[in-house]
Structure 1
Amino acid sequence: MERIVGIGDYAISDKEDDIIKTIALGSCVAVTVFSPSRKVAGMVHIALPFSVLPNEDRAKPCYYAESAVPFLINKICREYNCLKTDLSINVIGGAVSIRKDDLFRIGQRNVEVVRQKLRELDLPYDDSETGGTCSRTLTMEVSSGKIRIDSRPMII
C-alpha cells in the first residue's frame, strides 16, 4: 500500500509491502527514519522551522521542525519498540528559492532546526540531499528503508 505524507503530516509502517511517499518538497523538509532490525519506517513532511503562536506546535506537531523531529522519533520508538541506536535517519529537502529575494530562507532554516533537534537527541543522520534549487519527491520502501529521490528544477 502506498502511504502519501502531506504537508505537516507523518506516516509510520511496519508492513513490508508498504511504500511511504511525499511529493514535491521545495523549502519543506522530510525526515525519514528506518529501523533495520524491526523493519519499521517513518516519514514526516515539515513545513516551517518553528511556530510563532503559543501551543500551535502541540496542535500541529508535524508541521514544525522543532516539534516534528522529537514527535516522529518518540512515536517510532514507543509504539513500534525501535531503539534509537538502531535508527537510520535521512534529512531531505530544504531547497532555496531561485528568486534572489528569498528573505525568509525557510528551506535553510528548516534544515538547520532539524539538524539541531537530531543533535539534541544524539542521533546521527545523512543530510546530503538538502538545499539546492530543486523540488524533490521521495519514496521509501518499508521492507528495506531504501529511498528513491526524484529531483526536478523548481520554477519559483
Structure 2
Amino acid sequence: MYSDFNASPEANHYFDRYFNCNAVKILPGEFYATSNNHLIVTVLGSCIATCLFDPVNNVRGMNHFLLPRDDMEKSALLCESARYGTYAMELLINEMLKLGARKNQIVAKVFGGGNVMKGLIHNNVGQKNVDFAFEYLKNESIPIIASDVLSDYPRKVYFFEEGGLVRVKKIKALHNTTILDRESEYRIKLKNASIDNSVDLF
C-alpha cells in the first residue's frame, strides 16, 4: 500500500470564511468523499484532482494524485505508475460507494496537470497525469463533464455540494514555493513506495 495515500484526516477540516461553510482541504496523496455539505478544497501543480459526483444520491469525492514515474507511455496501463493511478481512483470510488453512490451514476470533472515543476517540463509530467486520468475514466465508463487541465500554472480547486459545482482559481503568480516543494516531496515518497493490489470495487 502507498503509505501516504489516505483519507483526509480531521486536521484538514476548517471553516472557510470566504464561502461561509465547513470545508476540508486535501493534500497530495489524499482523498475525501462525503454526502454532507462540506466544501472540498485542494491546490494543484502537476498533480491531478478528479472530482466525482453521483447527482442522484448526492455523494461527492475528490482525490489528489501524481503518477510516481515520468516515463510512462500512453498505452502502458499496466506499468507501476498506472497501477498507482488506478489504486488512487479505486480508493475514492470505493469510499463513495460506501456512502451510497452508484457507479453507473457517477460523473467526473478533472483538473490540474500543469507543467509547474522546475526541470520536469521536458518530460511532460502534467500531460502524462492528464492522459492517465482521462483514459482511466473512459475505461470505467465514467463520463467527464468538465475539465481544466495543463498549461503552466497551479490551480486551487473548490468542490461544492450544490449540483457538483466546481470553481477553479488559476494561480498565475507564485509568492512562495510551497506548492512546488510539496509536490516534489510527494514525488520522492512515491518512487520509494510499494503498492497494494488488493483494492476491489464492490
Q: TM-score range by the shorter chain?
A: 0.7 to 0.9
Contact 1:49 1:113 in 2 (8 A): no
Alignment match, 2:92: 72
In the TM superposition, residue 85 of structure 1 has moved relative to its aligned partner by 2.1
**Amino acid of the residue matched to residue 70 of structure 1?**
E
What is the percentage of aligned positions where both structures have the same residue?
25
Match of residue 109, structure 2, among 90, 95, 105: 90
RMSD: 2.7
In the TM superposition, residue 114 of structure 1 has moved relative to its aligned partner by 1.1
Deviates more, 1:118-127 or 1:38-47: 118-127
| Structure ranking higher on relative contact order (CA contacts 8 Å, 6+ apart) | 1
Count of aligned positions: 145
Contact 1:138 1:149 in 2 (8 A): yes
Alignment match, 2:155: 136
In the TM superposition, residue 107 of structure 1 has moved relative to its aligned partner by 0.8
Match of residue 51, structure 2, among 12, 23, 32: 32
Deviates more, 1:37-46 or 1:119-128: 119-128
**Distance across 1 between alignment mates of 2:137 and 2:120:** 29
More helix by share: 2
More strand by share: 1
Normalised TM-score (structure 1):
0.80
SS of 1:108's equivalent? helix
Normalised TM-score (structure 2):
0.63
Any stretches of 5+ residues in structure 2 without a counterpart? 1-21, 72-79, 175-179, 181-202
CA spacing shift, 1:68–1:51, aligned 2, 3 Å = farther
Any stretches of 5+ residues in structure 1 without a counterpart? none
